[in-house]
């Protein structure tokens, strides 16, 4: 079946949720408490070890297939407008750009020279910018635009490009 990356990730969340639900039910029904003198068989919860393990294996297999397909998709699909940048590279680059944008925002907003009040000594200290603030502002704007464009290109790819995954969750 064909899935977009967004659909594949949603499918993976469903599989993970179903597995967690099954494991929770297993914890609750695989053992039980009875008081001495009570009829153990009438209190025994329904639990089939073999079928639960088989269902867990099937869900884990599905999760592996979906994760693998997403990984292959991310390493083979490129983002439009980014000169061969693959999705997996973009997923590393976006946090790097976020850090750069944050740093450049601070640099662009710096005061060229300001007094530092240090009450521990009698010296007057100043913090002085050692770069062109206008250049930092331009770099900040460029990094912010690149980040926004990359995020948009990633959103488009995740919502429109498809991959084949041999998994269907009923």
Task: Please give the pLDDT value at position 116.
Answer: 84
The mean predicted confidence, pLDDT, of the chain is: 95
* Rounded distance between C-alpha atoms, residue 58 and residue 60, angstroms: 5
Do β-strands 113-116 and 2-4 pair in parallel, antiparallel, or remain unpaired? Answer: unpaired
- Locate the domains of the chain by residue range: 1-76, 79-161
Mean pLDDT of 106-126: 86
Q: How confident is the model at residue 87 (pLDDT cuts 50, 70, 90)?
A: very high
What's the mean pLDDT in 46-54?
96
Environment class of 36 (CB within 10 Å of its CB; exposed 0-12, middle 13-18, buried 19+): exposed
Residues with Cβ within 8 Å of 153's Cβ and at least 6 positions away in sequence, in order, are 79, 80, 81, 82, 90
Distance, C-alpha 4 to centroid of its chain: 16
The answer, yes or no, to whether residue 122 has pLDDT greater than 80, is no
Residue entry with tokens 């929770």: 24
Residue 52's Cβ-side half-sphere holds a number of Cα atoms within 13 Å equal to 15
Alpha-carbon distance of 135 to 122, in angstroms, equals: 35
Q: Mean pLDDT check: name the lowest of 80-84, 116-120, 160-164.
A: 116-120
Is the pLDDT confidence value at 22 over 90?
A: yes
Rounded average pLDDT over 1-20:
97
């Amino acid at each position: 079946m064909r899935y977009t990356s967004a659909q594949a990730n949603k499918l993976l969340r469903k599989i993970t949720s179903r597995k967690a639900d099954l494991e929770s039910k297993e914890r609750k029904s695989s053992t039980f408490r009875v008081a001495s003198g009570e009829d153990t068989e009438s209190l025994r919860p329904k639990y089939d070890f073999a079928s639960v393990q088989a269902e867990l294996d099937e869900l884990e297999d599905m999760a592996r297939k979906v994760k693998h397909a997403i990984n292959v998709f991310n390493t083979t699909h490129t983002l439009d407008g980014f000169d061969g940048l693959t999705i997996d590279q973009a997923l590393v680059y976006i946090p790097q750009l976020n850090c750069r944008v944050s740093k450049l925002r601070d640099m662009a907003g710096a005061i060229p020279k300001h007094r530092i009040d240090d009450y521990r000594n009698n010296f007057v200290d100043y913090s002085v910018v050692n770069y062109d603030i206008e250049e930092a502002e331009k770099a900040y704007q460029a990094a912010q635009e690149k980040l926004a464009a990359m995020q948009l290109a990633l959103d488009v790819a995740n919502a429109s490009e498809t991959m084949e995954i041999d998994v269907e969750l009923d």
